[in-house]
Chain A
């Protein structure tokens, strides 16, 4: 069965510092996609970054990067130079081509607090 695990219910980071949010996944599918979404207190879900299982390089999008370690089945999100606006819930998610890519599963999330 597929599973996403986020072991950090809450994290604190000082403004302007970097922070890593952990995500491990479990799947037997050879081809899959990994996503990170942000959910601010306003409630909407915002896509941040994507990593394909066959991508050789770690994905980056501005201040966000994904530390993809396939052998360890981990896909940690790194946020550099944290800003107060980064305070939010962050969800790791996975979908696989074996399910047509439609059955995305989400982790329980990590709540990030950025301190001034």
Chain B
């Protein structure tokens, strides 16, 4: 089992460029999440997908879009990158509900110049 995988691991963009971060899990989890982590702060939820076919906004959704492609895959898209989106992005998954820990991917370090 690979668990949660993310691609790419590192990315440098120029302001205004677009890109998609990919995430996949092989644990048959219903729910998937995208977080960003900035220095001195904990993780902040960008978007989540409670189940296949549904997506909802988290705490900091502005500037991002998501797609739950199927049960395994959940992508995060930056349409027009801004320096404020420089961060480490984590994808996570779990079986859903407040009683279940989340399993995290290794993260993507994104720099927007």
Residues of A with Cβ closer than 8 Å to B?
4, 31-33, 35, 37, 43-47, 50, 52, 91, 93, 95-97, 99-109
Contact = CB atoms under 8 A, between A and B. Distances in A.
Interface string B76-101: 00000000000010101000111111
A37 B56 CA distance: 24
Interface in B11-53: 31, 33, 40-45, 48, 50
7 contacts: A44-B107, A50-B99, A102-B33, A103-B48, A104-B45, A105-B42, A106-B42
Contacts of B92: 45
B103 interface: yes
Report, as a range, how many residues of chain B touch the other chain: 20 to 34
A43 B45 contact: no
Contact of B42 (A46, A47, A96, A109): A109
Given A102-B96, A103-B58, A105-B59, A35 B42 contact: no
Nearest to A4: B42
